[in-house]
Structure 1
Amino acid sequence: MGCTDSKDQAQTPTTQGKIHGVPASANCMGPLLLGMDVGAAKLETCNLMEGAHMKPEFIKMNAFHQVPLLEEADGFALGESNAILRYLAAKYAPELYPADPKTRARINFALDVCGDTLYSKWLLVVCPVQGFRGPHEDLNKARDDLKKVMDAFATTFIGGKSGKFICGETLTIADYKAMPYLWALMQPVCEAQTGVKLSERMKTYVEDVMAAVKNNEMLKSAGGWSLAEHIASKKDALPDAQGVVVIVGEPGEKCIEPTKGPAKAEEKAAKVHGVPMSCNALSPILLAKNAGIGDIEMCNVMEGAHKQPEFLAKNPFGLVPTFEGSDGFCVGESGAMLRYMAGSYLKEVYPAADPKVTARIDWAVDAFASAVYPKWAKIVPPVMGFQPWASPEEQKKANTELADALTMWATSFLDSSTGKYVCGDTLTLAEYKVLPY
């Protein structure tokens, strides 16, 4: 499928699409709640236990055989939770994804944190309770790792004084994304079996978002498969955690407040903090250089520069890359930086006129990050000396998994009959993301 132009800008759904997924999945619930709230989609239960996501008709829509998956009445299909959220909001509820550049950058920062940095720690704590993974291997470490990320999340997005949501008093798709993960942590069985509790500030945040989301009842009741019902059904599956209760989501002393406004005009001195051997950092570095707005600012992670107070004031997660404009505006997460810079300084690589074109780019970027990168990370970092080599047997398996993931990505986004890039012959954000890897 190429990125042909479309003039369909309808803001009121005329037909209702489907979101293939399961209500017991926090990753599915954000897009599902939004789709239901705007009247654009309803749940189409995808029974993963019976392999519904591996059937030919599903794989035809999503070669990655993952949920959630949006299927519209005209046949348009879209994968990746964050891509679906952006698309539904852009098309049906733009007030949930404001065009203001700095507000949108904050939203995308939060979306990408939830999809990777936070989720990777959350799943090690919650998924064993749900029965989606084996029992906790090292619960104490998993809880400590989750606390670090959740505290940084609260410091960056929730703990300020500007309002009750991630963007102050404005409900956005970032809140639709974050809330289900936090709601799961609040369930009594999850608290008992993990010894993890949300801070009072985070509990208040969840309650505020729940009150603003019209179809929040699906989090509590869905024929036994809601997050609340599913977790409650696991009461006797694992023993209760012993020892000290870990409170997660405690904001730091100095929180980052939401900022509104355009990106700095005629920017020439923006910095992308990172290291040039990092493919994740190279993507925004290349875009910054090509747009003529800035360059790399070396951050020596080997010496802990990313953990210094002055860096944590820019990005409380202590991660590179981090964008810093010469006006002092900062944003983390590679994908969020790419969208901010492209939307403000290089619009042709991230066109916004057609939601379906933008959605295709978003899906390609997010699918590479979620489906390809984890496989790539088992192959290239050992070559670069960043982690030890696997055993020959494990290496063979890793090689096969990466080859399969790349094939799925190419099948989904590259079609030589329509052009050489994700969107035909038009270079886009997707190429900036993928090329360094």
Structure 2
Amino acid sequence: MLKIYGDILSGNCYKIKLLASFLSLEHEWIAVNILAGDTKTAEFLAKNPNGKIPLLELESGECLSESNAILNYLANGTDLLPTAKFERAKVLQWQFFEQYSHEPYIAVARFINKYLGMPEDRKDEYHKLQSGGHKALVVMETQLQKTPYLIGDNLTIADISLYGYTHVADEGGFDLSGYPGIQKWISRIQEHSKYIGMK
């Protein structure tokens, strides 16, 4: 059986759980507490020397890290990952956008507020992250005003990648009320028959 190591409240981990639900993948979810040092143990580091979650362990014992790599692996051969060359590249484009232009702002601001409880020494950082996060949301909104999903008319892992942190962006101080396209997109994903929430 597949094993998924993660923290369900982490957007990067949750998106793996969400994909597993959409694809009805049988798996064992192994809860990991990063604040308690669970990813720094010798046992975990033997599976992922980078000491991060999520982590996918195959039945063979082989391990795969990095959330978007895991999504691509699990979605291969399904309707959630296009086979056409350009559309597949567009999925990757959005996933790179998520890791470099979205997650470093929205996820980090959420981490400072939700996980760390807004410590005084990180308040300035939190406020500085807001402009970058809104810039990313504007890019998403521009696309979602044109198409129901990020690649077009159909749900793909590009949407799952961005959904992970976008749907809880308010926990990082990002008000989504000014982004109607994103709000409709969030509702669209949540209406999926196999949808499961973060909590």
Return the TM-score normalized by structure 1: 0.42
Asked whether the equivalents of residues 18 and 41 of structure 1 are also in contact (C-alpha less than 8 Å), the reply is yes
Q: Tell me if 1:207 matches 2:187.
A: yes
* Offset of residue 36 of structure 1: 3.2
What stretches of structure 1 move > 3 A for 4+ residues in a row?
132-135, 138-141
TM-aligned CA distance change 1:139 to 1:115, over 3 Å = closer
* Offset of residue 48 of structure 1: 1.7
Q: Tell me if 1:170 matches 2:163.
A: no
Asked whether the equivalents of residues 121 and 142 of structure 1 are also in contact (C-alpha less than 8 Å), the reply is yes
Name the counterpart of 2:89.
Answer: 105
SS at match of 1:48: coil
Q: How does 1:231-246 map to 2 (within 5 A)?
A: none
Name the counterpart of 1:280.
Answer: none
* Offset of residue 72 of structure 1: 1.6
Name the counterpart of 1:399.
Answer: none
In 1, the alpha carbon distance for the partners of 2:90 and 2:184 equals 20
Number of matched residues? 194
Please list every run of 5 or more consecutive structure 2 residues that lacks an aligned counterpart in the other structure: none
TM-aligned CA distance change 1:47 to 1:142, over 3 Å = closer
User: What RMSD, in angstroms, separates the aligned Cα atoms of the two structures?
Assistant: 2.0
In 1, the alpha carbon distance for the partners of 2:174 and 2:154 equals 32
Q: Tell me if 1:197 matches 2:181.
A: no
Name the counterpart of 2:136.
Answer: 149
In 2, the alpha carbon distance for the partners of 1:212 and 1:17 equals 23
TM-aligned CA distance change 1:213 to 1:18, over 3 Å = farther
Asked whether the equivalents of residues 36 and 42 of structure 1 are also in contact (C-alpha less than 8 Å), the reply is no
* Offset of residue 197 of structure 1: 2.8
In 1, the alpha carbon distance for the partners of 2:193 and 2:164 equals 11
SS at match of 1:125: helix
The amino acid that maps onto 2:50 is: F
Asked whether the equivalents of residues 28 and 67 of structure 1 are also in contact (C-alpha less than 8 Å), the reply is yes
In 1, the alpha carbon distance for the partners of 2:174 and 2:163 equals 20
The amino acid that maps onto 2:73 is: Y
Name the counterpart of 2:44.
Answer: 58
Please list every run of 5 or more consecutive structure 1 residues that lacks an aligned counterpart in the other structure: 1-15, 220-225, 227-437
* Offset of residue 154 of structure 1: 2.4
In 1, the alpha carbon distance for the partners of 2:33 and 2:127 equals 33
* Offset of residue 201 of structure 1: 1.4
Q: Tell me if 1:21 matches 2:6.
A: yes
Task: Provide, for residues 231-287 of structure 1, a one-character-per-residue CA deviation record: whole Å limited to 9, x for no partner.
Answer: xxxxxxxxxxxxxxxxxxxxxxxxxxxxxxxxxxxxxxxxxxxxxxxxxxxxxxxxx
Task: Provide, for residues 302-344 of structure 1, a one-character-per-residue CA deviation record: whole Å limited to 9, x for no partner.
Answer: xxxxxxxxxxxxxxxxxxxxxxxxxxxxxxxxxxxxxxxxxxx
* Offset of residue 49 of structure 1: 2.6
* Offset of residue 56 of structure 1: 1.7
Q: Tell me if 1:82 matches 2:68.
A: yes
* Offset of residue 138 of structure 1: 5.1
* Offset of residue 123 of structure 1: 3.0
The amino acid that maps onto 1:201 is: G
* Offset of residue 150 of structure 1: 1.5
Asked whether the equivalents of residues 48 and 65 of structure 2 are also in contact (C-alpha less than 8 Å), the reply is yes
Q: How does 1:23-422 map to 2 (within 5 A)?
A: 23-38=8-23, 39-90=25-76, 93-132=77-116, 134=119, 135-137=122-124, 140-155=127-142, 157-160=143-146, 163-186=147-170, 190=171, 194=173, 196-198=175-177, 199-212=179-192, 214-217=194-197, 219=198, 226=199
Asked whether the equivalents of residues 39 and 51 of structure 2 are also in contact (C-alpha less than 8 Å), the reply is yes
